[in-house]
Every structure is written in structure tokens, then in C-alpha cells.
Amino acid sequence: MRADICVIGAGSAGLTVAAAAATFGHEVVLIERGRMGGDCLNYGCVPSKSLIAAARHAHMARDGARFGVHATPQVDFHAVHAHVHAVIAGIAPHDSVERFEGLGVRVIQADARFTGPDKVEAGGETIRARRFVVATGSSPVVPAIDGLATCEPLTNETVFDLTERPERLAIVGGGPIGAELSQAFARLGSAVTVIERGTLLAREDADAAAVVRASLERDGVTLIEGGELARCRREGNARVLTLADGRTVGADAILVAAGRRANTRGLGLEAAGVATNDGAIVVDKGMRTTNRRIFAIGDVTGGLQFTHVAGHQASLAVRAIVFRLPVAYDPMLMPRTTYTQPELAQVGPTEAEARARDPRARAVVAPLSGNDRARTEGETEGFVKLVLDGRGRLAGATVVAPTAGDMIATYALALSAKVRLATLASFVPAYPTLSEAGKRAATLHLGEKLNRPWVRRVLGLLKRV
């Protein structure tokens, strides 16, 4: 079988390449061994945000008393499960085999393996293509902890199949997945304990993580930071987790959210001359591997593991393959959001990262406590932090707010377009909105610049004219 492009992996990245290339007249073969739509649709973004939405409604019912509205939620976890899977089912046709075959893509549902630098075997077929795109994603890592396997731990690939709410849920890992699902299950009525060997959301801005930490604890999540899980054991239907310091945690279910591993096993990358590093495919800024025929995009490259990043890399691959344009991927322009409540969003370096690179870097913070919309909503814990480089230019932004994931888009665009802080200070958001907090942060910075002796002298002269 011959094709212009052979795509391995039908997650968000692979589907984007396949659809775009077929639309522009290329012969495309798409190979997927699992479910169409990949991790995002079936085990990641879609089900997790659907569960979080259900949990938010339960929380709002309880939280209404401070607004004078009293209600007691009754959580039907079977119905919650049905909601999650109805959302998946509603999106699935867009990612289906039938849709892509309708676009002219040849879909092979089987394992794929390179048998040479320009050919792949899958489903009894040998495919030769001018270009290959590897978009096989990543899988959750279950650490080799004594007795953990016998406790039948859940991962993001199985937790959304639960039809009964666990009364006690232990989550191993305090990264974005652990933080999001700990709060969601706590709001739905589970007693949740998070065991994190380091600190909660360690990669994020420390001030922002502290706001999220306080929110999780208010929702009843027990956080054990600096806790090393040593072993697990079954006691009937219950699980007992023992930490290195001897403390124990009882649970009815364990969710492991301790990192992910690139899906490269069995791909035969050696036969294709594709280099890897710690299991992930090595790529250049143009998403090319060490074999110039082969591109790799998404989680399999070991970088930022987000659907929108995978989609962006897919668009770069299409530009390079279909239009033969030069492309360059810049991870510093990629925003990310942890969907706790409040949400935590980041683009560019955090304040600590910026200061490590440049001691003159600084940050300007506008707390939500000074924002009128936040006050009306009773959501004043959070802030917008603009990170400035040593020359006073925008380098990054941190937002902690109920809609931080939407608000960060302004700063992602500003970084990408190299927008000046003066422009951010002069734009006019609607009132009252949380977006005003970002404008206020930029205005505070410009106000500091204007409060200099020479500026005051000039203003004094102008006053006399």
C-alpha cells in the first residue's frame, strides 16, 4: 500500500493531520490500535471536565447558603457516570472511522511497526509513504510499589468507568490530574486523600498553588505532601496504603496519577532510524525526527502533554508536509490550565523560572480581591500575575481565577504577538469582568514607571504651560 502520508495514532494530533492532509488532496493512511479519538476523548479532557462539571453543580448547591440560597445536593453517581459517557458519545462521531473514511482516509485498526526507514506494517499490510507522522500519545505510569498491583489501582484510563462512588479514595500524585480529580470526587461525596512525594502542583507558581491547595482543603481533601508511598495491601475489599514514615491511609479505591510515559514500545523505531530519549521521540523545532521522512507530534515527544499543544504541533506538521513551509514550535508560547476551582493557568515562565534566568525579572500582581466582578461572585481568592523580563517586557502570566483557562488566552496571544504592556494597559474590557484584573496589573506596572523623579519634573513643567 502506498500513500503520501501515513499517520500512526488517532488521537487529537493524528486526527488533525489526517483530516487536513486529506482535505488538501493527499492520500492518507491512518493507523490506530485502540479507540478513535485517543486519550483526550476517551480517558482525558472530555470525561474529566464532564465529571468536574457535575461536581461543580454539587458544590454550588452547598455553597449557595452564603448567598441566601439554601439547598442540599443528592448525588446520583450512576447518573454522573451516564453524563460523562453521554458527552463522550456525543463527540465520538466527529472522530469516528466512518467520518475519516468519508474524508478519503484509509483507516487501519491495528498495531503499527516500522520495518524500515520508509515502511510500516499494520494489520497484515505494508505501507510505504513519502512522509510518516507518529502521534501515538502517552500512557499512565503505575509505579513499582510493593503490593500496589494487587490493590487494582485505577488510572485515568479506568477511573471514568466507575459506576459507584468510592466512599474513600486515595490518589497517588498531586499534579494536575490528581488535583482536579481529588476536588471533583470530594465534591461528589468521597473522602479523598492525596499522597504527593513532593508538593502539590510543584511545577506551577508557588503562590498560585497555595490558593488551589487552600481550596482543596476547604472541600475536604486531605493532602499529604512530602509523603513517600512504601507499600499497599488488601484487607477484604479495602486497601491500606503505608507511607515510608509508617503512616497509613485506608481507602476503598486507589487512583494513580503519578506521571505518563510516551507510547513508543513496539513501534520499531530502531528499524526506522528514529532516536529516542528516555522513551520519548526526539524531534527538532520543526517536529522532525532523526529520520527526515518521519515527524512526531503530541505526547509521544515527551514535552508538554496537552491536547491543544498536540493540535498545534499537528498544524505545524501539516504546514511543513503539505505546504513545505518552514515551521518552529515554541513551548514557551503554549498556555496550560489546571481545572480545579479556582482554575490555575500559566503561559510562559513562572515568576521563579523568570528570576532564575534573569535576576532583574519581576512580577506585577493584581489580586481578585480588588476586582468588582470577583466580589459579586464571592470568588476573591486568586490573582493575575504578569511576569516581566529584565527590560520590563511581558515574559509570562499566571492566573488563578474561576475562569483562568479562558483569561490566560489574552496573555498567550500577547506573548505570541509580542504585545507591549502599554497596549494591555490601554485595552478596554467590559465591566464588570474578571478580565479587568489583568488590565489593572499592566496599569500598576505603568504607574510605577510614571512615578519616577524625572517624569514628575516633566509633568511639573507641563502643568505650568
At 254-275, the pLDDT tens digits run 999 999 999 999 999 999 999 9
Angstrom distance (rounded) from CA 336 to CA 348: 9
Residue 449: its pLDDT value, please? 67
Residue 361: is it exposed, middle or buried by C-beta count within 10 angstroms (0-12/13-18/19+)?
A: buried
Q: Between helices 45-63 and 77-91, what is the axis angle to 10°?
A: 140
Domain with CATH 3.30.390.30 in the chain: 342-452
**Secondary structure letter of residue 278 according to DSSP:** T
CA dist 368 → 111, 343, 375, 408 (Å): 50, 13, 8, 15
| Backbone φ and ψ of 343, nearest 5° | -75, 155
The alpha carbon of 131 is separated from its chain's Cα centroid by a whole number of angstroms, namely 29
Return the pLDDT at 464: 78
Please give the model's pTM, rounded to 2 decimal places: 0.94
Task: Give the CA distances from residue 253 to residues 47, 161, 199, 221, in Å, rounded to whole numbers and listed in that order.
Answer: 19, 13, 22, 15
Q: What single letter denotes the amino acid at residue 91? A: I
Cα(162)–Cα(156) distance, integer angstroms: 11
pLDDT higher than threshold 90 for residue 360: yes
Percent of the chain with pLDDT over 70: 98
CA-to-CA distance for 125 and 294, rounded, in angstroms?
A: 19
Residues whose CB falls within 8 Å of the CB of residue 387, separated by 6 or more in sequence, listed in order: 348, 349, 350, 351, 354, 361, 362, 363, 394, 395, 396, 397, 398
pLDDT of residue 465: 78
Task: Give ranges for CATH 3.50.50.60 in the chain.
Answer: 2-140+261-332, 149-259
Domain 149-259, what architecture? 3-Layer(bba) Sandwich (3.50)
| Nearest one of 171, 279, 256, 167 to 216, comparing CA atoms | 171
**DSSP assignment, residue 385?**
E
Q: In this model, does residue 100 exceed pLDDT 90?
A: yes
Distance CA 183, CA 178 (A): 9
Phi, psi of 126 (to 5 degrees): -110, 120
Top CATH class of 2-140+261-332 equals alpha beta
Q: Which three cell numbers stand for residue 9?
A: 495514532
Q: What pLDDT is stored for residue 446 in this prediction? A: 78
Letter for the amino acid at 14?
G
Q: Is the pLDDT of residue 455 over 70?
A: no
CATH 3.30.390.30 corresponds to the domain 342-452: yes
* Interhelix angle 206-218/176-187, nearest 10 degrees: 20
pLDDT tens digits along 67-94: 999 999 999 999 999 999 999 999 999 9
C-alpha grid cell for residue 126? 505494508
